[in-house]
């Protein structure tokens, strides 16, 4: 069954911020930014269709400024957000009442010593583990001990040897403690030290131990700070872009197998040639890269094309990923599933249309009718300012 109705008007988000869409009972909790720069938390009632929106801050109308909204049953929601390329403050607010996004306490901030962009928040019991990009090339870490007041000192988690932005999707596994991490550099080629490859780590958020996915020996510890920041040569090497190509990293899976979703294309910044989605999987102690499907022609970097589309893994199953892609001027949202022989086949979520359906994100605690949401893009420019899009969602048609 596909949900064809629009869920929320005027909501945008950029990649590498989470959580974005979490279901508790009949309520879907969301974080987004509107076209006028209102950073907000929202709810959508899955039964009545009613929406509630609460503005957290008024910032530049840049879709990078969308918030991570963390909700857990019986706890007060938390929201985290930054000003893209503006200052070193990771802003956060805590709601006044459990399960309620209508009223919030004052804005507070954590300082990471470099410009912050994006926020990723993972709950482990009463702790919240927070990650944010710092100064373009590094990612920082801080830990909230008691769901509201006491933070560890912010520190650098990873610092890569590059002169351009880095992107780091993460996924907390169903065991509630193991965090998968993948990281790569920006797809652009006009800087001097590109990092067109993917590295991976695993973090035990209870003990703090950081290791390579295929090696049990710890190399650092996020709780004690030992061995931080991790450098590029310490990461487990997953794959390179390949000769004459560049990559953009999107997501990490939560299934039994460590999976990483990304796109590659011809390396010229203005090129949209041969864009393809891939999944890298750790099997038998080695990484293999599988070709999933063509992404379509809008995947250049110049003209912001590399920020459109996307691949995101299912919350409920390994070997399944949601893909936004273009074909012949029409956009579709599909669920691609991996067969035992390594081939990928598609199930339709939303039918192909002239409307760009982009940046899919799986619903935490999905229902049979709503397993993924995405943005129906109405306006998007080269500077990713004043993006106008609307939330749609659905489930794969069996």
The secondary structure element, H or E, covering residue 169 is none
Around Cβ 137, how many Cβ atoms within 10 Å? 21
Six-digit token pair at 306?
């590399």
- Secondary structure string (H, E, C) spanning 32-100: EECCCCEEEEEEEECCCCCEEEEEEEECCCEHHHCCEEECCCCCCCEEEECCCCCCCEEEEEEEEECCE
Cα(195)–Cα(340) distance, rounded to whole angstroms?
32
Cα(333)–Cα(349) distance, rounded to whole angstroms?
6
Cα Rg of the chain (Å, integer): 19
- How confident is the model over 47-64, as a mean pLDDT? 96
- How confident is the model over 114-138, as a mean pLDDT? 96
Query: Is beta strand 388-394 parallel, antiparallel or unpaired with respect to 138-144?
Result: unpaired
Q: How many residues does the chain have?
A: 398
- How confident is the model over 313-336, as a mean pLDDT? 93
**Phi, psi for residue 366 in degrees, rounded to 5:** -70, 165
Are the CB atoms for 183 and 195 separated by under 8 Å? Answer: no
Q: Which residue, 279, 311, 284, 312, is CA-closest to 295?
A: 311
Residue 304 pLDDT greater than 90, yes or no: no
What pTM was estimated for this model as a whole?
Answer: 0.96
Residue 132 pLDDT greater than 90, yes or no: yes
Are the CB atoms for 326 and 312 separated by under 8 Å? Answer: no
* 121 three-state secondary structure: strand
Is the preceding omega at residue 356 within 30 degrees of 0, hence cis?
no
Six-digit token pair at 375?
């943005």
- Residue 279, pLDDT score: 97
- How confident is the model over 279-298, as a mean pLDDT? 94
- Residue 305, pLDDT score: 60
- How confident is the model over 13-32, as a mean pLDDT? 96
* 292 three-state secondary structure: strand
Six-digit token pair at 386?
């004043």
Query: pLDDT by residue (tens digit) across 342-374?
Result: 899 999 999 899 999 999 999 999 999 999 999
- Residue 272, pLDDT score: 86
Q: Which residue, 173, 121, 178, 124, is CA-closest to 316?
A: 173
Residue 1 pLDDT greater than 80, yes or no: no
Cα(169)–Cα(158) distance, rounded to whole angstroms?
13
**Phi, psi for residue 391 in degrees, rounded to 5:** -80, 130
- Secondary structure string (H, E, C) spanning 235-265: CEEEEECCCCEEEEEEEECCCCCCEEEEEEE
Residue 127 pLDDT greater than 50, yes or no: yes
Cα(77)–Cα(81) distance, rounded to whole angstroms?
14
Around Cβ 58, how many Cβ atoms within 10 Å? 12
Cα(57)–Cα(255) distance, rounded to whole angstroms?
35
Cα(154)–Cα(325) distance, rounded to whole angstroms?
38
Six-digit token pair at 49?
């269709």
pLDDT bracket for residue 3 (50, 70, 90): very low
pLDDT bracket for residue 2 (50, 70, 90): very low
Query: pLDDT by residue (tens digit) across 155-204?
Result: 999 999 999 899 999 999 999 999 999 999 999 888 889 999 999 999 99
Query: pLDDT by residue (tens digit) across 197-228?
Result: 999 999 999 999 999 999 999 999 999 999 99
The secondary structure element, H or E, covering residue 268 is none
């Amino acid at each position: 069954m596909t949900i064809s109705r629009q869920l929320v008007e005027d909501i945008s988000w950029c990649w590498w911020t989470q959580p974005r869409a979490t279901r508790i009972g009949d309520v879907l909790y969301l974080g987004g930014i509107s076209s006028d720069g209102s950073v907000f938390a929202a709810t959508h009632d899955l039964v009545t269709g009613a929406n509630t929106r609460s503005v957290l801050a008024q910032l530049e109308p840049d879709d990078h400024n969308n918030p991570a909204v963390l909700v857990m049953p019986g706890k007060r929601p938390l929201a985290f957000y930054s000003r893209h390329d503006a200052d070193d403050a990771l802003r956060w607010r805590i709601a006044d009442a459990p399960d309620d996004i209508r009223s919030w306490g004052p804005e507070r901030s954590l300082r990471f010593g470099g410009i912050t962009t994006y926020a990723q928040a993972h709950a482990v019991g009463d702790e919240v583990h927070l990650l944010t990009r710092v100064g373009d090339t590094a990612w920082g870490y801080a830990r909230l001990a008691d769901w509201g007041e006491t933070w560890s000192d912010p520190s650098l988690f990873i610092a890569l040897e590059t002169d351009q932005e880095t992107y780091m999707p993460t996924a907390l596994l169903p065991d509630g403690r193991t965090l998968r991490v993948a990281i790569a550099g920006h797809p652009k080629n006009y800087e001097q030290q590109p990092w067109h490859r993917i590295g991976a780590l695993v973090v035990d958020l209870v003990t703090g131990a950081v290791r390579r996915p295929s090696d049990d020996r710890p190399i650092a510890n996020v709780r004690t700070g030992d061995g931080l920041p991790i450098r590029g040569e310490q990461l487990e090497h997953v794959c390179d872009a390949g000769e004459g190509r560049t990559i953009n990293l999107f997501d990490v899976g939560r299934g039994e197998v460590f999976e990483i979703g990304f796109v590659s294309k011809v390396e010229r910044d203005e090129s949209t040639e041969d864009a393809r989605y891939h999944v890298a999987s750790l099997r038998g102690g080695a990484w293999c890269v599988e070709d999933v499907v063509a992404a379509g022609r809008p995947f250049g970097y110049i003209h912001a094309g590399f920020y459109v589309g996307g691949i995101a893994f299912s919350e409920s199953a390994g070997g399944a990923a949601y893909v936004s892609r273009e074909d012949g001027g029409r956009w579709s949202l599909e669920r691609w599933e991996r067969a035992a022989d390594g081939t990928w086949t598609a199930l339709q979520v939303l039918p192909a249309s002239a409307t760009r359906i982009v940046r899919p994100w799986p619903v935490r605690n999905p229902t049979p009718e709503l397993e993924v949401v995405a943005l129906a893009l109405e306006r998007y420019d080269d500077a990713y300012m004043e993006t106008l899009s609307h939330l749609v969602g659905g489930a794969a048609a069996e």
